[in-house]
Amino acid sequence: MTAALSTTKRALDLGPAVELVSKEEGHRQPLAPEFVSAEDFSPLEVAYDFGKVRREDIEAGPKNIWRYKKLLPVPSNVEEIPNTEPGCTRLVRADRLAKALGVKRIWVKDDTGNPTHSFKDRVVAVALAAAREFGFEVLACPSTGNLANAVAAAAARAGWESVVLIPSSLERAKILTTAVYDGALIAVDGNYDDVNRLATQLAAENENWAFVNVNVRPYYSEGSKTLAFEVAEQLGWRLPEQIVVPIASGSQLTKVDKGFRELGELGLVEASPYRVFGAQATGCSPVSAAFRAGHDVVQPVKPDTIARSLAIGNPADGPYVLDTVTRTGGAIEDVSDEEVVEGIRLLARTEGIFTETAGGVTVATAKKLIETGKLDPDAETVLLITGDGLKTLDALEDRIGPRATVPPSADAVRKVLEG
Ligand SMILES: *Cc1c(COP(=O)(O)O)cnc(C)c1O
């Protein structure tokens, strides 16, 4: 009896999470490191029993995403376990940007302030917390760059091994800022979609590896809800009217919507209407193309854009992005690489925020949506700025620099400034 008891696995504690449910037909199954339903082959999503969640409990929580632990699939004592503690990034009222774009009110959610300087720290922190609960000890991923940083850093902090697969063509900065954490970083000759396929194969072969965006994807993706939670809390517990979200796999966009809905359902905010807009680079715009054509499936493409963190040609959540955008009355647009660089520079010039190419996509797409009348200039709009410009300096190379190089003379400086 005693022996049997001591070998009994203790109950899984993933907080309010109770089951996995398939997105298409709603088949239910126990919480496990699985991502596709064996019943209908659709993605699995976490189902919850939230109970009562109060604003005061959240406000009394830590200044990171664990303040929302009662809304996430993570252990009850998650804040006591080593992780990167991302979140609580600033929401900046961007009046100068709003003026430049000719709209009334814009807020910039500046996720460059996370530990590895992108929103990916949020999803990885949740994936790591859930993976630990499932008994994994290796954190792995295929990545377009930011995920590589986040996984390698989180694994280092947790004392885990990491296996990170990247396309060999990735920006040098993103390679170095991953390699420094000293996990197993492997560059693969191929694009992200090749790397992703390889990861799916390796996940099947290595049962003790938690691939954050493959076998523990249902938990990982819930981390993006914290963007919605923070925006709502920072606005004084209310929802914005419009939000513009960059699309890679599409997970973030669908989960920001899920986060807003949950807040409304739990009575934490008034369930006011909001519209979700999607942003892509034209060189990798399969979801934007499907939206324009009125399709409900997404035709894969071969990416060719400087916005490499968004360069997923076969986005797993593409159809769900189309659902979300259509249901909320939003739209999806795409912008050229030239416009992406303009977007980066516009945000820097007006608000002093330096974003990576993905943020340039968001800003430039917002501009286009305003110009084409799809985004209401009188409604309050949030832009999700998801990554830091220091990681994609290549995009600006040979385009900007000093106004002049002069000898150390006041006269010479004056001459340049006079023009
Ligand atoms: C990964 C990423 C996104 C979008 O991610 P999804 O796969 O759509 O969830 C957006 N911005 C940056 C900077 C990213 O790295």
In a domain, 80, yes or no: no
In a domain, 384, yes or no: yes
Q: Does 112 fall in a domain?
A: yes
CATH number of the domain to which 238 belongs: 3.40.50.1100
What is the per-residue pLDDT across 42-75, written as a single tens digit (0 to 9) for each? 999 999 999 999 999 999 999 999 999 999 999 9
Please give the pLDDT value at position 2: 36
Residue 289 has pLDDT above 90, yes or no: yes
- Taking the C-alpha atoms of residue 207 and residue 202, their distance in angstroms, rounded to an integer, is 9
Looking at residue 171, what is its pLDDT? 82
User: Which atom of ligand 1 approaches the CA of 224 most closely?
Assistant: 9
Measured by CA distance, the residue closest to atom 12 of ligand 1 is 386
Domain limits for position 354: 91-117+221-395
Cα-to-centroid distance, 168 and ligand 1 (Å): 19
Q: What is the pLDDT of residues 142-198, one digit of tens each?
A: 998 999 999 999 999 999 999 999 999 888 888 999 999 999 999 999 988 899 999
* Ligand 1 atom at minimum distance from 248 CA: 8
pLDDT band at 9 (very low <50, low <70, confident <90, very high): low
Tell me how far CA of residue 204 lies from CA of 25, 176, 214, in angstroms: 24, 28, 10
Q: Tokens 């995009």 label which residue?
A: 395
Q: Is 146 in the pocket of ligand 1 (CB under 6 A)?
A: yes
β 106-110/91-93 pair status = antiparallel
Q: Determine the average pLDDT of the residues in 343-361.
A: 98
Atom 14 of ligand 1, residue of closest alpha carbon: 309
Q: What value does the mean pLDDT take over residues 203-231? A: 95
The C-alpha atoms of residue 376 and residue 395 are separated, in whole angstroms, by 30
Count of structural domains within the chain: 1
In a domain, 345, yes or no: yes
Q: Is 305 inside any structural domain?
A: yes
Q: Is the pLDDT of residue 269 over 60?
A: yes
Whether 236 maps to a domain, the answer reads: yes
DSSP 395: G
Determine, yes or no, domain membership for 183: no
- Is 214 part of any domain? no
Q: For residue 212, which amino acid is it?
A: V
Atom of ligand 1 nearest to the CA of 247: 8
Cα–ligand 1 centroid distance for 351 (angstroms) = 22
- Among the atoms of ligand 1, which is closest to the Cα of residue 123? 9
Cβ-based neighbour number of residue 307 at 10 Å? 32
